[in-house]
Amino acid sequence: MDKNIVNSFFITTPIYYVNARPHLGHAYTTIVADCMARFNRLMGRDTFFLTGTDEHGEKIVQAAEKNGQDPQTFVDGVSALFQGLLPVLNAANDAFVRTTDSRHKQVVQKILQKVYDSGDIYFGEYGGHYCYGCERFYTEKELEDGLCPQHKTKPEYIAEKNYFFRMSKYQGWLKQYILDNPDFIRPERYKNEVLSLLESGALEDLCISRPKSRLSWGIELPFDRNFVCYVWFDALLNYISALDWPDGEHFKKYWPGAQHLVAKDILKPHAVFWPTMLRAAGLEPYRNLNVHGYWLVRDTKMSKSLGNVVDPLSMIDRYGVDSFRYYLMREMHFGSDASFTEESFITRLNADLANDLGNLMSRVLSMNARYFGSIAPSPKLITEVDQELVNFACESMARFQRLFDGVCFSVALESLWALVRGLNKYVDGAAPWTLYKNGDMDRLSTVMHLLLNALYKIAVHVWPVMPQTAQTMLEQLGMGHLAGAGPKGALGVNLAEELESWNNVRPGTRVAASSALFPRVDAKPKEETARRPAGADKKSAAKVATGAEKGAEKGAEKGAGSRAEKDHSGQTEKGPIAFADFQKLDLRVGTILEASRHPNADKLLCFKIDLGEAAPRQILSGIAQYFAPEELVGRQVVVVANLPPRVIRGLESQGMILTADRADGIELLSVSGPVGAGAAVS
């Protein structure tokens, strides 16, 4: 079949080796596979997503003995951990294969017999450097200073009689196939690595058995009961056993669109062993091998011995599954290594999700509620600026689709976030609050119509990565009926068609009045946060007029910007004061001339405020999670003008902006009409 016209998509993770519990690397590969499956379903392709566990080999026996269990009991327990992780990651796989399944064993034995009968498996004696960690022999040339390149340990030299696969026979064919199909292995650096390996010398034959005298835990060779199959020859065949090779309908439908997803440490088995095995069995190779790098912790590869393994469950419990999925897909440039830190996770969550996407959704819905009673308005005249926005959105979506299809996930998401940031700028430029104030309802209805529909476009495009968030967005936009309306629970849309329409949130649709997709996360360590007073946590933060972040963090500091402690009812503790105390407050109305984010604090905004003095005041306020700085320029606010200056995160604050609570956030305290800068409040 011509691979260029295949409309099926078959994505596999490597089947995970069950000698240890799942960690961040397993979670990442599974999430990437799930995102690819969801994306391809939205693109209208018949999609099948496979994952599973690899359960044979010497390391399994060793791990089982260490745990005082027989191998089958041990693998049953660890495989269950991998299966249990899938719903936690919100991974919607279609099948889960285990190499101890009877169906898989039968396929392995059929392939072994087929290749043996063709003359490509022979019996011989071999001596080589055997790494028990990798469960494979290494040649002298493959060792690095006499050590296994993966485990940095000295292999044991073993000489024994075994069965061998004539892999060397297919060296020329494999090299030419890779050259003829330049995207067969991607990214390109890994294709070049494999070609370099093939060009460096003769490809050796592959030892594919282990004598039962040394290892009995494995699939027995059909032509010699004294041997079991080498774990890699066994494991790789899961990709077709799960499709019911040779006669299953799934195999006929999905194998032409096969895509494998692996980490770079198992490049050779998938790029060399597997294609030559398929060739020897008379089967077409897979369509693409997609290879990703390592997740590093403090620039070091994760290792149980180093104690730096990241538990995905704890990250999800703390920050939510969609934030976790987004961070992994956005932070790693596919093919390269990436470094995981909780600090970078929080920064990405606050910047991209809370400040950009969450703030945009909140602004648009709250403005639409205020101006149109939460009903989507009808557009009027489309201006040149509006058309530029639509064109930019279509370009961003098209680029997202092209890059995501080409496994450039991080860059694809950046393209989509360029649209998110562009929409925030569009809001600032259109200034709906000014249009409403001036009674220009025709222009205002067009602006809000475009914004609501742009949010819909973002929701359907972000669904492969953040399905729960996308569903919430669609429900808030009055489009919840699309969730689960497609095949296998996908959205009832086709992404390719989304580039051609711009009227999905139709006039008259009732939308939500507010949104709070991603609350900002305090970057402070969890144990330190737990020691903070009840009134200083993130739920009560910024509910009282504030010009600082340091007040609550330092605990003992008082004065401008410190948080007010609250009692168990959530109300600030108050007592009667003398009128003379009230008279000490210098409250003035100021006009915001400039607004920007604090360079060293996510929660702080920096303002230049005209109080009718010789020079504007610089005032800091911890309201960044509620307002974009650009929308505040020109607003009039009430300022406490006689507080002593304080230096906060390196910048001086010369007063305090007053705010008022509301159910879903805060409002700036202002006046009913324009007054002169510096007017006294009395």
Residues annotated as part of the active site: 23, 26, 131, 134, 148, 151, 301, 304
Pinpoint the alpha helices (H) of 506-628: 526-530, 550-554, 579-583
Residue (of 561, 551, 563, 553) closest to 525 by Cα position: 553
Share of the chain residues as helix, strand and coil, in percent rounded to the nearest 5: 45, 20, 40
- CA distance linking residue 256 with residue 434, whole number of Å: 57
- CA distance linking residue 515 with residue 466, whole number of Å: 16
- CA distance linking residue 135 with residue 61, whole number of Å: 12
- CA distance linking residue 311 with residue 30, whole number of Å: 14
Distances in Å between the Cα of 632 and the Cα atoms of 117, 431, 534, 606, 637 are 77, 10, 30, 11, 10
End-to-end CA distance of the chain: 82
Decide if 609 contacts 591 (C-beta within 8 A): yes
Residue pointed to by tokens 């990214």:
187
Decide if 338 contacts 297 (C-beta within 8 A): no
DSSP string of 337-382?
Answer: -EEE-HHHHHHHIIIIIIIIIIHHHHHHHHHHHHHHTTBPPPP---
Beta bridge partners of 53: 16, 98
178, exposed or middle or buried, with CB in 10 Å at 0-12, 13-18, 19+? Answer: buried
Q: At what angle do helices 24-42 and 71-88 cross, to 10 degrees?
A: 50
Give buried/exposed letters for 138-169 (b at 16+ CB in 10 A, else e).
Answer: beeebeeeeebeeeeeebeeeeeebbbbbbee
Residue pointed to by tokens 């044991």:
156
Decide if 448 contacts 377 (C-beta within 8 A): yes
Residue (of 43, 34, 28) closest to 11 by Cα position: 34
Strand bridging mode 605-610 / 46-54: unpaired
Q: At what angle do helices 71-88 and 58-66 cross, to 10 degrees?
A: 100
Q: At what angle do helices 441-462 and 384-405 cross, to 10 degrees?
A: 0
Residue pointed to by tokens 């180093």:
306
Residue pointed to by tokens 């393994």:
309
Decide if 325 contacts 89 (C-beta within 8 A): yes
How many other CB atoms are found less than 10 A from the CB of residue 212? 16
CA atoms within 13 A on the CB side of 668: 28
Q: 577 phi and psi, to 5 degrees?
A: -125, 160
* Close Cβ partners of 659 (under 8 Å, ≥ 6 residues apart): 542, 543, 544, 545, 546, 623, 666, 667, 668, 669
